[in-house]
């Protein structure tokens, strides 16, 4: 139920972003970019927190309530039980992400259409004026408006949005799996949550730190290099799932992703 409260907050956030952004920038393309940026940020925060907090309590709750005993006393292999719990958590994320993507696409489409309609009106007036009094200034304004319209069309709902959503979902799936794994031996739910957040944090910043070290003129010593390699093996590279910035900026997917 709480998941659906979050979905309500998410739609309110997009709506607020749509209305408020007009006060901060007059650039229509930038308005759509900021809207996408805010929505992906909310989506990413939701998936990260949900994947950790909800998954951390799945097994401890069953143990505490002794529901686990009644389940494992049936002919159910332990692997199936764990996998079922994991899939259940991921299904909630999948449904929520799908609803959020539909909401984002709908808001984005409506805003894009409204902005395009304004631009269309401007272009019609400009074309009429250009016909009546042909001159360089009117033609230049018309050309700019055409470029703006084409840029606006590129910022609307597209398949590249879906790639960002898939990347966010995959990141949540990896985090959920790590959290579930920790919760099978952790002594408390809080410990599981803290460990999962630490893994996420290290996995998120480690590639950035390593890149900056390696590009520094001093280079890295042999031991540090070994340590970095060990961290790289233990912690997943969460930067691999960070496609949002590029996609909001209108980039295509990197080859081989």
Residues near another protein (CB under 8 A)? 65-67, 69-77, 187
CB nearer to another protein: pick between 67 and 117? 67
d(CA 173, CA 5): 22
Shortest Å, Cβ 113 to another protein: 41
Counting Cα atoms < 13 Å in the Cβ hemisphere of 101 gives 20
Shortest Å, Cβ 60 to another protein: 13
User: Closest Cα partner for 56 from 171, 182, 172?
Assistant: 182
Specify whether the CB–CB gap between 206 and 232 falls below 8 A: yes
Shortest Å, Cβ 59 to another protein: 14
CB nearer to another protein: pick between 69 and 201? 69
Nearest 5°: the CA angle 177, 6, 101 is 75
CB nearer to another protein: pick between 63 and 162? 63
d(CA 20, CA 138): 31
CB nearer to another protein: pick between 64 and 251? 64
Residue 76: φ, ψ to 5°: -120, 115
Shortest Å, Cβ 58 to another protein: 12
Shortest Å, Cβ 182 to another protein: 16
CB nearer to another protein: pick between 67 and 139? 67
d(CA 82, CA 88): 10
Shortest Å, Cβ 173 to another protein: 24
CB nearer to another protein: pick between 64 and 113? 64
User: Closest Cα partner for 35 from 96, 140, 106, 131?
Assistant: 106
User: Closest Cα partner for 126 from 135, 138, 136?
Assistant: 138
């Amino acid at each position: 139920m709480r998941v659906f409260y979050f979905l309500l907050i998410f739609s309110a956030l997009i709506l607020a972003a749509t209305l408020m952004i007009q006060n901060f920038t007059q650039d229509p393309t930038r308005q759509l970019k900021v809207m996408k940026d805010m929505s992906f940020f909310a989506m990413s925060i939701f998936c990260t927190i949900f994947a950790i907090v909800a998954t951390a309590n799945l097994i401890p709750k069953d143990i505490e309530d002794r529901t686990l005993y009644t389940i494992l006393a049936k002919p159910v292999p332990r692997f199936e039980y764990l996998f079922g719990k994991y899939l259940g958590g991921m299904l909630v994320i999948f449904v929520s992400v799908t609803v959020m993507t539909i909401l984002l696409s709908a808001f984005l489409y409506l805003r894009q259409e409204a902005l395009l309609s304004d631009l269309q009106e401007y272009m019609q007036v400009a074309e009429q004026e250009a016909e009546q009094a042909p001159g360089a200034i009117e033609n230049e304004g018309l050309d700019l408006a055409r470029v703006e319209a084409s840029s606006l069309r590129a910022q609307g709902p597209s398949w590249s949005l879906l790639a960002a959503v898939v990347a966010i979902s995959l990141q949540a799936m990896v985090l959920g799996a790590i959290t579930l794994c920790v919760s099978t031996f952790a002594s408390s739910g809080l410990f599981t949550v803290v460990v999962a957040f630490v893994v996420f944090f290290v996995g998120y910043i480690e590639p950035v730190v390593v890149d900056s070290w390696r590009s520094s003129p001093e280079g890295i010593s042999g031991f540090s290099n070994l340590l970095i390699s060990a961290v790289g093996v233990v912690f997943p590279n969460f930067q691999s799932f960070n496609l949002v910035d590029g996609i909001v900026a209108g980039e295509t997917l990197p080859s081989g992703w």
